[in-house]
Amino acid sequence: MFPPARVGPQICADGVPVPERASKDGSIVGLNAHGFYQEPVYRGNVFSLTLAATTGGVAAGNIVSAAAAAATQFALFNPAASGKLLVLLRFRLGIISGTPGAGPVFHGYIPNVPTATATGTILNNMLSSGASSVARSYATGTTGTTLTAGAAPVTHMLANFSSTATAQASPYLVTADDVLDGQLVVAQGAGWLPLWGAAGSSLLCGYSITWEEIPA
């Protein structure tokens, strides 16, 4: 015999068994009652890294077929033995000015963590609260940070952005909102970065990446 369902929201402590929830008409509630990321966010496990604006063209390290240790404007790394996995949730890109190179942007990875000094500020999505991230970031707008001792990036998967080699003026053509929902996970000792197909001409843009940290 199943225990009776309880009508209405319940406020419960962790680890306490609860009955199923029912609606006013007695139907079992089996849908998301809250925002999709609410649970991991309010538990302090979701983080974001943002580069509001690059001030130089696309750095060599953020282009497909980049050399090892190239200067990189935007990248995220998971230190070896961090004890966590970085589950990528959402990548965003917006063009400010200039002409992009023809073709898509890709998700890339670097299979080792560079020794270069980290840059950029990682923020917990539990605004003005929450624990610090285990990740290391590189987010600098000019020529980028030379990823000393870093391996050459690997082009892994197409991102939700592509352009012709022309200056674009329509906002819907120059932004990307790539909902990854865990399709990419940064293992310990590896890193992620966006890779343009080509540098374009005087291209300025902004980036952000959002991820959840879970036990390895």
Residues 1-20, mean pLDDT to the nearest whole number: 77
**181 with 201, same domain?**
yes
Whether residues 156 and 123 share a domain: the answer is yes
What burial class does residue 200 get, using C-beta atoms within 10 Å of its C-beta: 0-12 exposed, 13-18 middle, 19+ buried?
buried
Which amino acid type is present at position 209? I
Q: What is the pLDDT of residues 41-81, one digit of tens each?
A: 999 999 999 999 999 999 999 999 999 999 999 999 999 99
Q: Are strands 46-51 and 122-124 parallel, antiparallel or unpaired?
A: antiparallel
51 and 20 belong to one structural domain: no
The residue whose two tokens read 């990528």 is: 88
The answer to whether residues 169 and 135 belong to one domain is yes
Supply the pTM of this predicted model. Answer: 0.88
- Both 24 and 110 in one domain: the answer is no
Do residue 18 and residue 70 come from a single domain? no
In this structure, what token pair is assigned to residue 148? 């000393």
HSE toward the beta carbon, residue 14, CA cutoff 13 A: 2
Q: Are residues 193 and 94 in the same domain?
A: yes
Q: What angle do CA 5, 6, 11 make, to 5 degrees?
A: 130
A 10 A CB-CB count for 161 gives 24
Kindly list the strands in the beta sheet with 74-78, ordered across the sheet, starting from the edge strand earlier in the chain: 136-139, 74-78, 190-196, 103-110, 154-163
In the predicted model, what is the mean pLDDT of residues 82-101? 94
The boundaries of the domain holding residue 13 are: 1-33
- Mean pLDDT, range 115-138, rounded to an integer: 95
Mean pLDDT, the chain, whole residue set: 90
- Say what the pLDDT of residue 156 is: 97
Q: How confident is the model at residue 23 (pLDDT cuts 50, 70, 90)?
A: confident
pLDDT score, position 35 = 83
Q: Are residues 74 and 168 in the same domain?
A: yes
Q: What is the pLDDT of residue 27?
A: 75
Parallel/antiparallel/unpaired status of strands 145-146 and 71-72? antiparallel
d(CA 66, CA 154): 9
- Give the C-alpha distances (Å, rounded to integers) separating 46 from 18, 37, 126, 209: 26, 9, 8, 11
76: tokens are 């995220």
> Distance (Å, rounded) from C-alpha 196 to C-alpha 100?
9
Better pLDDT: 167 or 96: 96
Predicted pLDDT of residue 181: 95
* Stretch (H or E) spanning 130: none
Residues 106, 6 share a domain? no
Q: How many residues does the chain have?
A: 216
Mean pLDDT of 183-212: 96
pLDDT at 140 > cutoff 80? yes
Nearest CA among 135, 148, 149, 123 for reference residue 191: 135
98 and 16 together in one domain: no
Q: What is the pLDDT of residues 141-193, one digit of tens each?
A: 889 999 999 999 999 999 988 887 776 655 556 778 999 999 999 999 999 99
Q: Are residues 55 and 151 in the same domain?
A: yes
| Average pLDDT over every residue of 6-16 | 80
Query: Do 186 and 134 contact (CB within 8 A), yes or no?
Result: no
The domain total for the chain is 2
